[in-house]
Amino acid sequence: MNNNPPKPDTMKTRLKYLTYALIATATITACVGADKDPVTPSTPAPVNEEELITTLQLHIHSANDVEHKHFIFRDVDGAGGNAPVITADTLSHDSIYHVEVVVLNESASPAEDITAEINAESDVHQFFYQVSGANATVTYADADANGNPIGLETDWTIGAASNGTLVVTLRHQPDKTAAGVSSGDITNAGGETDIEVTFPFVVE
């Protein structure tokens, strides 16, 4: 066993190697830290929430402005609650009506009028009117900035007395240039359905 203290030169050498080792470790640690990208918390993408539609009103005026009729869908508590209330006035045979649509969210207080928003975004919205059984023809009476129909205003030509249904559908981002869409055929429209309502259609 060697009890002699280390020579000064040997101690200097050991200290020198220890110093180099510490510097090397610090350098490696610094490089690793520099190479790693800083971790930032991920931010969820903004959600584009659709407006809640509780109420769809069709205000129906005869050409001579004598008759004022209404088709109304109302479901204030939304899907899964109470059943919606649907009412539709009887229309007169051999008549022409001008029809205006009002869209509301009546779950808000005061009620929120969504009609203006649809009109402001008219290039990505279109109403479709599918008549079945009843003797009636629906034509568009409005257009967006591109000359394509919106459907907030329509003209209805009513023929002989008859009974049937009217399906009113609001599509978001339909392909308005697809075949038949500009004339009201929903077949090739695509897009997403914001609301769809079936009204009884009675002509006397």
Summarised one tens digit per residue, pLDDT across range 34-82 is 444 444 444 433 333 467 999 999 999 999 889 999 999 999 987 778 9
35 and 101 in a common domain: no
DSSP assignment string, 67-110: -EEEEEEE-TT-TTSSPPEEEEPPBPSSEEEEEEEEEEETTSSS
87 and 12 in a common domain: no
Does residue 1 belong to any structural domain of this protein?
A: no
153 and 61 in a common domain: yes
DSSP three-state, residue 155 = strand
- Residue-range definition of the domain harbouring residue 16: 7-40
Distance CA 101, CA 184 (A): 16
One-letter amino acid identity for 118? I
Q: Which residue has the tokens 């009974």?
A: 163
174 and 121 in a common domain: yes
**17 or 123, greater pLDDT:** 123
119 and 63 in a common domain: yes
134-152 average pLDDT score = 98
Does residue 46 belong to any structural domain of this protein?
A: no
Distance CA 70, CA 99 (A): 9
Enter the tokens of residue 179: 């075949």
Does residue 49 belong to any structural domain of this protein?
A: no
The predicted structure's pLDDT at residue 81: 83
Does residue 45 belong to any structural domain of this protein?
A: no
Where does the pLDDT of residue 127 fall: very low under 50, low under 70, confident under 90, or very high at 90 and above? very high
Enter the tokens of residue 112: 């929120």
32 and 98 in a common domain: no
126 and 34 in a common domain: no
191 and 123 in a common domain: yes
111 and 190 in a common domain: yes
Does residue 2 belong to any structural domain of this protein?
A: no
75 and 34 in a common domain: no
- In eight-state DSSP terms, residue 64 is T
- Quick check: 165 pLDDT over 70? yes
**28 or 14, greater pLDDT:** 14
Comparing CA positions, the residue from 190, 191, 195 lying closest to residue 102 is 195
Does residue 131 belong to any structural domain of this protein?
A: yes
168-190 average pLDDT score = 98
Q: What is the pLDDT of residues 18-33, one digit of tens each?
A: 444 444 443 333 333 4
85 and 16 in a common domain: no
Averaged pLDDT score across all residues of the chain: 83
The strand pairing partners of 104, in sequence order, are 55, 113
Sign of CA dihedral 147, 151, 153, 155: positive
Does residue 125 belong to any structural domain of this protein?
A: yes
Instruction: Classify residue 71 as exposed, middle or buried by CB count within 10 Å of its CB (0-12, 13-18, 19+).
Output: buried
168 and 134 in a common domain: yes
Instruction: Quote the number of domains for the chain.
Output: 2
